[in-house]
Amino acid sequence: MKQTVILAAGEGQRLRPFTVTKPKVMLSIVGKRILSYVVDSLAQNGIRNIVKERDCPIDFPRNLIKSVTVE
């Protein structure tokens, strides 16, 4: 089984003021969250198991990760 870790902790200081109220992976680009681009790309490459780092500040929205498992 292919597995990956998404590193999403950190303050996102270079993206301020956009990251003052939300984590950088939840920011939208062209109407789609950055996290969605990452998860879609992983799924297209056969990765179905995602492990988020312990200090990750977000809960992965289930509608973004229909075809993968998050631990």
Domain that holds residue 17: 3-70
pLDDT grade for 54, boundaries at 50, 70 and 90 = low
Total of domains in the chain: 1
pLDDT in tens, 25-38: 788 889 888 888 88
| pLDDT score recorded for residue 5 | 78
Alpha helices in the chain (DSSP H): 34-44
Look at the block and give the residue holding tokens 């990956």: 4
Q: How far, CA to CA in Å, does 26 sit from each of 3, 30, 32?
A: 22, 13, 9
